[in-house]
Amino acid sequence: MAYSSFHPPVRTLMGPGPSDINPRVLAAMSRPIIGHLDPAFVGMMEEMKKLLQYAFQTRNALTLPVSAPGSAGMETCFANLVEPGDKVVVCINGVFGGRMKENVERFGGIPVVVEDAWGQPVSTDKVEAALQANPDASLLAFVHAETSTGACSDVQALCELARRHDCVSIVDAVTSLGGIPLYVDEWGVDAIYSGSQKCLSCTPGLSPISIGERAIERIRRRRTRVPSWFLDLNLVMGYWMESEGRRAYHHTAPINALYALHEALVILHEEGLEASWARHRRHHEALRAGIEAMGLRFLVDAAHRLPQLNAVLVPEGVDEAAVRAALLQRYSLEIGAGLGPYAGRIWRIGLMGHAANEQNVLLCLGALEAVLAEMDAVTPGLALPAARAEYAGRVRSQAA
Ligand SMILES: *Cc1c(COP(=O)(O)O)cnc(C)c1O
């Protein structure tokens, strides 16, 4: 058996992540490898921390990428902030809140679950009631952008509740960072984690985190050792933060992956955070216009809908998997399937980072309409004019 190099097909990625990447990011990744303690590399790490502070809108010194995917950022927060017996209010309105609960349990905490229907944002009223009923709770954990449903929760209001009830907040910003407004300092977020492959448009495998003073104080006061060696922030900091002019080897940093994240963050900084948020919104509106023109509906109300993750209800009688397979085979276009109670009932169309552009919106609408029209599920010819009209309206209102 002779093996040859792997050459992946060229796809357009409009699912729940990974998202399409700017070619500059892939080019950065192929630059020469250097040592993970090389002064040149350390200089890049210092810049990376500043770029991440910009993306998170924070001055938190403890802002760095964990060397593993978003799930590891989640686990870093829970491993360091939860001790056996700690009561944690955990909000579940989709897949990722459920994973937070599992993290609490695995680190010996006692979860107090606040549940909302899939597709709904986290209810601040229910959270307030749970905090009142559990005055001994010391942490509040929730997901900003629930990728399984496309619902956006109110970070500012929830973090304010956490503070009022003397709780430290843990926020999942894996899908929100770079795509929708997020102000870590202004909104009083204590601990937050994200992922590289969603709206940051980098390769998967890194998880930016930012930990504020209140959360650090909690870690300092731990009665027990952090049960994970790899994710123990005290050790991770030894490498990422200089102490007495020295940096300690903890693990070998994923050097070239970090070049990629650095480049992705430089691109975000060049565009500007607000401009990136506005771009996600603009292309979402055009996609929405086309989807609605086809007679399809969204799972989430307009008020709580994420622009970067569009959950579209599958029309009655349509085999959703057959549609996704046709999009992949004929248009090399990937969109996502539903999860949990919405498996088989929604498509998840991502407009994340570099993938949030007009070309992708028109490709997706045209391809989806063609496939659905062949199944006699929609009337052809309506989606693209609606999207174009939305874009034209935007252009006019900007010029006015
Ligand atoms: C994707 C995602 C994660 C997990 O990130 P991985 O990089 O897949 O480990 C966690 N939370 C949310 C909200 C996500 O969308």
Q: Label residue 72 by pLDDT band (50, 70, 90).
A: very high
Q: Is 191 helix (H, G, I), strand (E, B) or coil?
A: strand
Name the H helices within the chain: 23-29, 39-56, 70-81, 95-106, 124-133, 155-164, 213-220, 233-240, 255-271, 273-293, 320-331, 358-374, 383-399
Please say whether the beta carbons of 145 and 306 come within 8 A.
yes
Look at the chain and count its residues: 400
**In terms of C-beta density within 10 A (0-12 exposed, 13-18 middle, 19 or more buried), how is residue 65 classed?**
buried
Q: How far apart are CA 269 and CA 375, in angstroms?
A: 44
Q: Label residue 305 by pLDDT band (50, 70, 90).
A: very high
pLDDT at 66: 97
Q: How far apart are CA 116 and CA 322, in angstroms?
A: 30
pLDDT in tens, 54-63: 999 999 999 9
Tell me which residue has its CA closest to atom 6 in ligand 1: 70
Q: Provide CB contacts within 8 A for 296, sequence distance 6+.
A: 312, 313, 315, 378
CA of residue 123 to ligand 1 center, whole Å: 21
Please say whether the beta carbons of 94 and 117 come within 8 A.
no
Rounded to a whole number, what is the distance in angstroms from the first to the last CA of the chain? 65
pLDDT at 344 over 70: yes
Over pLDDT 90: what percentage of the chain? 94
pLDDT at 394: 74
Domains 23-269 and 272-399 equal at CATH topology level? no
| 23-269 topology per CATH | Aspartate Aminotransferase; domain 2 (3.40.640)
Nearest CA to 189 out of 207, 162, 208, 166 is that of: 162
pLDDT at 238 over 90: no
- CB of 149 sitting under 6 A from ligand 1: no
| 272-399 topology per CATH | Aspartate Aminotransferase, domain 1 (3.90.1150)
Mutation probe of ligand 1 site: the residue of 78, 147, 149, 174 with most atoms within 8 A of C-beta: 174
CA of residue 257 to ligand 1 center, whole Å: 18
- CB of 390 sitting under 6 A from ligand 1: no
- CB of 65 sitting under 6 A from ligand 1: no
- CB of 173 sitting under 6 A from ligand 1: no
CA of residue 295 to ligand 1 center, whole Å: 31
Tell me which residue has its CA closest to atom 8 in ligand 1: 70
CA of residue 334 to ligand 1 center, whole Å: 18
Q: How far apart are CA 181 and CA 173, in angstroms?
A: 11
Q: Label residue 244 by pLDDT band (50, 70, 90).
A: confident
* Least confident window among 66-75, 233-242, 309-318: 233-242
CA of residue 100 to ligand 1 center, whole Å: 11
Please say whether the beta carbons of 331 and 283 come within 8 A.
no
pLDDT at 94 over 70: yes
**DSSP run (H or E) holding 63:** strand 62-66
pLDDT at 152 over 90: yes
Mutation probe of ligand 1 site: the residue of 147, 180, 196, 202 with most atoms within 8 A of C-beta: 147
pLDDT at 1: 84
Question: Which ligand 1 atom is nearest residue 17's CA?
Answer: 1
Q: Label residue 398 by pLDDT band (50, 70, 90).
A: low
CA of residue 40 to ligand 1 center, whole Å: 31
Q: Provide CB contacts within 8 A for 185, sequence distance 6+.
A: 57, 58, 59, 60, 212
pLDDT at 126: 98
Q: How far apart are CA 333 and CA 88, in angstroms?
A: 40
Q: Phi, psi at residue 343, to the nearest 5°? A: -60, 130
CA of residue 383 to ligand 1 center, whole Å: 31
Question: Which ligand 1 atom is nearest residue 196's CA?
Answer: 7
pLDDT at 245: 81
Q: How far apart are CA 116 and CA 314, in angstroms?
A: 22
Q: Which two tokens stand for residue 355?
A: 């993938």
pLDDT at 386 over 70: yes
Mutation probe of ligand 1 site: the residue of 71, 143, 144, 306 with most atoms within 8 A of C-beta: 71
pLDDT in tens, 125-151: 999 999 999 999 999 999 999 999 999
- CB of 147 sitting under 6 A from ligand 1: yes
3-class DSSP string for 149-184: CCEECCHHHHHHHHHHCCCEEEEECCCCCCCCCCCC
Question: Which ligand 1 atom is nearest residue 94's CA?
Answer: 13
- CB of 98 sitting under 6 A from ligand 1: no
pLDDT at 399 over 60: no
pLDDT in tens, 171-210: 999 999 999 999 999 999 999 999 999 999 999 999 999 9
Mean pLDDT, all residues of the chain: 96
Q: Where are the domains positioned within the chain? A: 23-269, 272-399
Which is more confidently placed, 130 or 244?
Answer: 130
pLDDT at 367: 98
